[in-house]
Chain A
Amino acid sequence: MGFTERGKQCLLPEEAVYLLECGSIQIFHKDMPLSVQEVYERLLLHQTLRVLQYQVYSHLKRLGFIVTRFNSSSSQSAYERRLNIRSSIGSAGKRKRSPSLRSEPGLSRGRDGDVCGDERSSEDKSVTSCTEAKESNREGRTFRDMSDRPGKCPDHDLKIKLSDQPTISDHNGDSRKENPPESTDPSEDVTMENLPGAFRWDFSKISFPDCAPDRPCNVFPAPQPALLPENVAGREVDISPWRQRLSLKPEKMSRKERDRYDWERRFKSNVRADAAVQRCGNWTEYKKLLRGREESSRKARPPHLWASAITPLVTPEHGKTTASVLDQITVMTSSQLLDGSERLLDVTADVPQIHFDVYQADGTSDFRKSRPGLPYARVCVRSFSEAVPSLRSLKCLALRSVDVPVVFALVDCGEVAFYSFKDFRLPVDVYP
């Protein structure tokens, strides 16, 4: 594959050794051609490329895959996937930055800056503004939990507030073409101070507008002035053009999924189908309704079942599906590999390193050097003499590559075998 640097075509060491073994190139050092043995001894000693890794690389190449070195920026975090950012970004590799998006020197941006920039250039502005708002919240990486900013619809306020408030959003203020460059200091201490401030809002008094597709809500009211800073004026806005753009993509379900969906619709009831629930304005009222219902059902219970020490496990209205019954008696909760992985500190020493991205090279793949896309798998090379990684390091590893499965390539004196950990969910419901 290689890469170009300053106009010269260069090859990575593993590529060079592989091509030499195939007989496609000749490698010269000080005008003398090198034999395969000399090339092994010269190139396969570095920390970045040991003999083990070269053996896995050549094995995969001979099988016909396209193998590149692991590029950590090609792996998305959970948040990015939720936003489906990848579809809007052209390339995962080099990207051209327009001069207006140049960041301030004090900020650490990395790929986040690139993401913002490309998003803007390629998509419709009205669609991106909501996502931009979320991105801006995400930029302050340490404050991931605070990213769902309370109070009001974030997009409006950010457009207005950027020039003033030294909040998390300002880190991205520079990335927006429409807003003037910020003069606020991007110091993290200021945002730290804002953290306890978030708790001084009383959520029972703030109403969240519901813009679900089945709700008639086309106008967002003006935000309460008490929640805004002094020199900022909020206004009400009509969101009907934007609501038309929400959930545009129809969900493609396979036949099995469609059957399951129909079955669930018949036997599982939607909570909101209840008129009384729809009349509830906020969570307090809903809880009151639930409590009232529980009491009335308690009064209607047959005493011979409920009066003694042993009571039935489920009531008739809750026992319609196998899953709900199993829910009551389950001893273990099913867990996935990624559960709780975000909270683990990434102690890099323990976590196995991912070495290669592997792409398929058949007719259906759309791999391009400039736009490789999502790899088929990521390979981590280990030897048999090393210990099996602990669950904690496996979770950290899974977090590093959420969208693509990680395969362990175990090398044993030249023989390569591939292993991976797969999640498995025990079936709980019985579908006809």
Chain B
Amino acid sequence: MIDINPVMILIHLTDGKGFVWNVDDARMIREEHRLVGNLVGALVRKPRQNLRLGLPLQLLPEETRLLVEIGAASLVRHSLNEKDHSEDDDSSMDRAKSPSSTDDQDTLQTEVEVYEEYIEDSYKEQRKLALAEKRRTLEILSDRIAERRAKRRQQRGDVDETPMESSSTGPIKELQHLEETFYFPEETMMVHLPTARPSLGVVQEVDVCQASPDWPYAGQPEHEMRFKVFKDLWQRGYFLTSGNKFGGDFLVYPGDPMRYHAHFITICFPYNKEIPMSDLVTAGRLGTNVKKTVLLCSPNQEGAVTYTSLQWSGMQ
């Protein structure tokens, strides 16, 4: 039985990438665990711009693995097909329900009913509120409306004066019949589009230490090397983000990336590997142009990471 601790952060695995959909989890990852990630979804308030994006938060494989290893998060993946229900043994199912199809239909039916009831309630509520709003507006403006009407009637020449309209002190006729004439169709109702799943559904936990089709990184030498470097730098208190824009593996910040510029560009090499001189020159020149120090990192056999920094220096 997967005992998912409700306090744990859930990282959802989609297409080999880890996503965090819950806003509290995303905040906790940044504030408490010092991991930055990348927001990749549309910002709800302003969806059609690229400067500031919203949830989900996409995490690097190294960040995902780090969170799982320190016990702050668990990596889960959703199974979509009904076939998965019957193939897994009952212990892996989150809900304690028998995997027969009729029961699934029933649950679906009740879910639909619950939803439709919720929509109905929401509609009534919104109609009530809209009605109250309209009444308030009309009351505020009723005097002015009555005045204008009287003026227009005078201009037209006092033809067909009805007693109701001639009274300038009573309420205008709209207010009297507001309940009946108020038009609030269902299409104008506001609906909520949730970002994260409203309910957890069926999930399976994914092991970060074992390679699987969903999580192909475990065991790959490059991933292991990068992860060691990542963890070492993280433990020293730095913030790390992806460094591909600057030709390296990671960018190292002394504090939150919103506050500081990166100090280092990290390039990971396997220990004892020969680095071509042209690569060193490339890295050095790049670092100089963007005013960052290039760190050549290699985890050695003992597990510690050795760092070599490249800095442009004149002949002095």
Interface residues of A (CB under 8 A from B): 18, 20-23, 26, 30-33, 35-38, 40-42, 44-45, 50-52, 55, 58-59, 61-63, 384, 410, 412-415, 417
Q: What residue in chain A is nearest B243 (Cβ atoms)? A: A412
Cβ of B124 to closest chain A Cβ, rounded Å: 19
In contact, A36 and B195 (Cβ under 8 angstroms): yes
Q: Which residues of A contact B53 (CB under 8 A)?
A: 414
Contacts A22-B42, A33-B193, A62-B47 known; 11 new A-B pairs at CB < 8 A: A22-B47, A26-B191, A35-B198, A41-B14, A42-B80, A44-B15, A58-B42, A62-B50, A412-B244, A414-B58, A417-B245
**Residue of chain A at shortest CB distance from B40:** A414
16 A-B pairs within 8 Å (CB atoms) are namely: A18-B42, A23-B193, A30-B108, A30-B112, A31-B112, A35-B196, A35-B197, A41-B78, A62-B47, A410-B244, A412-B244, A413-B17, A413-B37, A413-B58, A413-B242, A415-B38
Q: Tell me if B14 and A23 are in contact (CB < 8 A).
A: no
Complex interface: chain B residues within 8 A of A23 (CB):
44, 47, 193
Q: How far is the CB of B142 from chain A (nearest CB, A)?
A: 36
Chain A residues lying within 8 Å of B19, measured Cβ to Cβ, are: 37, 40
Q: Does B264 lie at the interface of the complex (its beta carbon under 8 Å from any beta carbon of A)?
A: no
Bound-state CA distance A40–B55 (Å) is 12
- Does B41 interact with chain A (Cβ within 8 Å)? yes
Docked pose: A21 CA to B48 CA in angstroms? 9
Q: Is the CB of B112 within 8 A of A40?
A: no
Size of B's binding interface in residues, CB under 8 A: 39
Q: Which residues of the partner chain B approach A41 to less than 8 Å between Cβ atoms?
A: 12, 14, 78, 80
Contact A415 B242 (CB under 8 A): yes
Task: Give the CA-CA distance A415 to B197 in the complex, in Å.
Answer: 24
**How far in angstroms is the closest Cβ of chain A from B9?**
15
Say if the beta carbon of B39 comes within 8 Å of chain A.
yes
Asked if B108 and A21 sit within 8 Å, CB to CB, the answer is no
CB <8 Å contact, B15 and A51:
yes
- What 6 pairs across the A-B complex have the smallest Cβ distances? A21-B42, A414-B40, A414-B38, A35-B194, A412-B244, A22-B47
- Across the interface, name the chain A residue whose C-beta is closest to B59: A413
CA distance A51 to B48 in the complex (A): 19
Shortest distance from the beta carbon of A29 to any chain B beta carbon, whole Å = 10
In the complex the two chains form, is A35's CB within 8 Å of B242's CB? no
User: Beta-carbon contacts of B102-116 to A below 8 Å, as 1s and 0s?
Assistant: 000000100110010
Contacting pair B21 A62 (CB below 8 A): no
Residue of A nearest to B223 (CB): A385
- Partner among A21, A38, A45, A413 whose Cβ is within 8 Å of the Cβ of B47: A21
**Set of chain A residues within 8 Å of B286, measured between Cβ atoms:** none
Tell me which residues across on chain B come within 8 A of A61, comparing CB atoms.
48
Q: How far is the CA of A432 from the CA of B48 in the complex (A)?
A: 49
CA distance A133 to B108 in the complex (A): 64
Q: Which A residues lie within 8 Å of B38 (CB)?
A: 413-415
Q: Are B48 and A32 in contact (CB under 8 A)?
A: no
Contacting A at CB under 8 A, from B211-254, are 242, 244-245
On whether the beta carbons of B115 and A32 are closer than 8 Å, the reply is yes
B299 adjacent to chain A (CB < 8 Å)? no
Contact with A along B46-76 (1 / 0, CB 8 A): 0111100101101110000000000000000
* Assembled-state Cα–Cα distance A417/B246 (Å): 12
Q: Inside 8 A of B47's CB, which chain A residues have their CB?
A: 21-23, 62
Most chain B beta-carbon neighbours within 10 Å: one of A21, A45, A61: A21
A51 to B115, CA, bound (A): 29
B62 to nearest A CB, angstroms? 10
Q: How far is the CA of A181 from the CA of B191 in the complex (A)?
A: 61
In the assembled complex, the Cα of A41 lies from the Cα of B19 at a distance in Å of 10
Identify the closest chain A residue to B16 (Cβ): A51
CB-based nearest B residue for A61 = B48
**Assuming A33-B193, A37-B197, is B50 touching A412 (CB within 8 A)?**
no
Contact B41 A21 (CB under 8 A): yes
- Decide: B197 and A38 in contact? CB cutoff 8 A: yes
* CB closest chain-B residue, reference A416: B50
Residues in chain B near residue A413, CB distance under 8 A: 17, 37-38, 58-60, 242
CA distance A32 to B39 in the complex (A): 27
Min distance, Cβ A49 to any Cβ of chain B, angstroms: 10
A32 touches B111 (CB 8 A): yes
* A59 contacts across to B, CB distance below 8 A: 50
Q: B1-20: contact bitstring with A at CB < 8 Å (1 yes, 0 no)? A: 00000000000101101010
